[in-house]
Amino acid sequence: MNDATREALAAALQNGAAIVCHAQCVPCQFGQCQPTPTPHPWAGAEDREHAAAIGQPEPTGNCACNCARAES
C-alpha cells in the first residue's frame, strides 16, 4: 500500500465514508447468538463453497460476536 492509498483510507475511516466490519456468522448477524459464550467460526457452508469455487483457501477465524468469546 502506498502513502496516498494509506492517507485516503485513513481519511475515509475518519469521515465515515468507510467502516471496519468484523466477520460474524449468519446466526449472529440476525441476533440468534449462542446461549453461552462459545467460540465458533464466522464462515458457513456457503462461504466455504464460494472460496472453493474461486480457488481460494477455506475461510478461517472466529466469529466476531460477543457470544463467540470465551468467558474470562
- Tally of CB atoms within 10 A around 32: 10
Q: Is 65 exposed, middle or buried (0-12, 13-18, 19+ CB in 10 A)?
A: buried
Domain that holds residue 64: 21-72
What is the structure's pLDDT at 71? Answer: 60
pLDDT digits (tens, 9 = 90+) for 13-61: 899 898 777 899 999 999 999 888 899 999 999 999 999 999 999 999 9
6-10, 12-16, 42-46, 68-72: segment of lowest average pLDDT: 68-72
| Sequence-ordered list of residues with C-beta below 8 angstroms from that of 57, at least 6 positions apart, any chain | 51
Mean pLDDT of 54-70: 90
H or E element that contains 51:
helix 45-53
Q: Is residue 35 assigned to a domain?
A: yes
Indicate the number of domains in the chain: 1
For the chain, the straight-line distance linking the first and the last C-alpha, in angstroms and rounded, comes to: 37
Q: Is residue 39 assigned to a domain?
A: yes
